[in-house]
Amino acid sequence: MPVRSAKIRVLDNTLQDRHSQSLRKAGIGDYLLLLTAAGMWGGTFLLNEIALDDFSPVAIAAYRISLAAIILGLICLWKGLLPKFNGRTLGLITLISLLNSVVPFSLIGWGQLRIDSATTGILLASSPFFSLLLSHYMTHDDRFSWNKFVGLVFGFLGVVCLLWQGLLIGGGSLVAMFAVVLAAACYSLSAVLIRRLGPMPSLLLVASSLAIASLVLLPILIWWYPPWQQEYSGITLSAVLFLAIGPTATAYVLRVKIVQNTGAVFMSNVGYLIPLFAVFWGWLFLSQTPTIVMWVSLTLIFIGIGLGQRK
């Protein structure tokens, strides 16, 4: 069989677009981007706590996504990045927007009505395992290896160590737990699908996906929580604005860049770092003293990330 034909068959079997960008080994810059995204997403717990004084969970999701879409859309216009999508690309972006924001936001919000936040954090940390499985079957250059698997185990142990006390205190509904696990799988699948779009500018991709997500959420917001019937304080409005600029607009652009350059499995390590940053922000702004458990968890997580990136 000719070599060219064999390569095409391998690409077809993995369901990866043959024009997608090839991965490279993660460098110092990639680790810095990963830490930056994790730091922003770790701050969502604190910002959400402030915003929930005046906003419902659905309203927070709708406002942060819509504001982020407007901000990134204006930046795209300023940079001359105009969407020119064919039907296939538009379909993929729509699917990514649903899997990356609308569906997981809804599942996590519903699940947290029935289970505690520590349990939710543990369940969301299952995302790297989904990423490892999906990337193995849906890409040709981000495949399974024992180093990656051992690294994921170490990272998961770090999260369990950090949240163990909260898990023992908590409990909750099995169906709610399944909903959170399904949300983690949605995040993983959206990361793999991003690579099927090829080398599209990350800014344009995120702006387009958030715009589609806002078109889904805004009618729900207007129907159930009409803005003209709500009252908000300056503090809660500022929290929602920070959620839109940081964890949604900026961190999502970083996420796309990381996935396009180093793959979904490397990006999934952010799930282990987010709880640590949540503890750090709590120490910085709420005077919550870090414990020995936090340092043990941090050590396990970085060992896991290091092992996962070894050849």
Q: What is the pLDDT of residues 20-77, one digit of tens each?
A: 556 667 788 888 999 999 889 878 767 877 888 888 888 888 999 999 999 999 999 9
Residues 6 or more apart from 76 whose CB is under 8 A from it?
A: 82, 203, 204, 207
Please tell me the pTM assigned to this model. 0.73
Alpha-carbon span 129 to 137, nearest angstrom: 13
* 223-233 burial: b if 16+ Cβ within 10 Å, else e: eeeeeeeeebe
The residue-averaged pLDDT of 158-179 equals 66
Q: What is the pLDDT of residue 115?
A: 72
CA pseudo-torsion sign 128, 133, 139, 141:
positive
In angstroms, rounded to a whole number, what is the distance separating the alpha carbons of residues 184 and 181?
5
User: Quick check: 68 and 244 in contact, CB under 8 A?
Assistant: yes
Instruction: Give the pLDDT confidence score for residue 4 in this predicted structure.
Output: 43
CA separation for the pair 155, 309 (Å, rounded): 13
Q: How much is the pLDDT for 163?
A: 62
Distance, in Å, from the CA atom of 99 to the CA atom of 184, rounded to the nearest integer, reads 10
Mean pLDDT lowest among 89-98, 239-248, 297-306: 297-306
Look at 215 and 161; give whichever has higher pLDDT.
215
Residue 201 reports pLDDT greater than 60: yes
Q: Is 239 exposed, middle or buried (0-12, 13-18, 19+ CB in 10 A)?
A: buried
Convert the pLDDT of each residue in 105-143 to its tens digit.
Answer: 788 877 777 776 656 666 777 677 777 777 666 565 556
Residue 152 tokens, joined:
């994921």
CA 99, CA 91: separation in Å to the nearest integer?
Answer: 12
Alpha helices in the chain (DSSP H): 3-14, 28-42, 44-51, 57-79, 87-97, 103-111, 117-124, 127-138, 146-169, 174-195, 202-224, 234-243, 251-262, 264-268, 270-286, 292-308
Band (pLDDT 50/70/90 cuts) for residue 15 is very low
- 8 A C-beta contact, residue 277 and residue 39: yes
According to the per-residue pLDDT averaged within each range, which of 112-126, 203-217, 293-307 is highest? Answer: 203-217
pLDDT reading at 290 higher than 80:
no
Considering only CA atoms, which of 250, 206, 262 is closest in space to residue 43? 250
Number of Cβ atoms within 10 Å of the Cβ of 76: 19
Percent of residues, the chain, with pLDDT higher than 90: 15
Predicted confidence (pLDDT) per residue in 62-79, tens digit: 999 999 999 999 999 998
Which of 145-159, 234-248, 251-265 is the most confident on average? 234-248
pLDDT at 71: 93
